[in-house]
Amino acid sequence: QLQLQESGPRLVKTSETLSLTCTVSGGSISSNSYQWGWIRQPPGKGLEWIGSIYYTGRTYDKSSLYYTPSLKSRVTISVSRSTNQFSLRVNSVTAADTAVYFCARHVRSSGEFHFWGQGILVSVSS
């Protein structure tokens, strides 16, 4: 059974960089049938898709990356085939970036996220 697990600092200072890693087990991140994405949920609010990536069979290129327009200037997603992980970086964070961050696998070119991590609450504070 595919499993995903988020890890990283739970507290980040304002204006610094949020960095999270998602470790995938029970399946390969190299499959190009699926995309690997990050979604966040501010406390008491709805879900927001951040971005997704899929492994192209070689070093990933820009064609395999998709970001939500409102965060595109601050977000980087990358993948590591050797460790079966993918990562999220959000630069210049503010209190508005405080949220539960989920990593998930989805069907390519869709919003079908069938496998999710448990989520990690990241708080941004000065």
Q: State how beta strands 120-125 and 11-13 pair.
A: parallel
Single out the residue of 120, 114, 125, 85 nearest to residue 9, CA to CA.
120
Closest C-alpha to 6, from 122, 91, 124: 122
- Between 1 and 82, name the residue whose CB sits nearer to another protein: 1
Q: Give the interface with another protein as residue ranges (CB under 8 A).
A: 37, 39, 45-49, 52, 66, 68-69, 102, 104, 106, 109-114, 116-119
Q: How far is the CB of 15 from another protein (least distance, A)?
A: 26
> Which one-letter DSSP state was computed for residue 38?
E
Residue nearer to another protein on the CB measure, 49 or 89: 49
Least distance (Å) between residue 96 CB and another protein: 15
Q: Quick one: 34 or 113, whose CB is closer to another protein?
A: 113
- Count the Cβ atoms, other than its own, within 10 Å of residue 123: 13
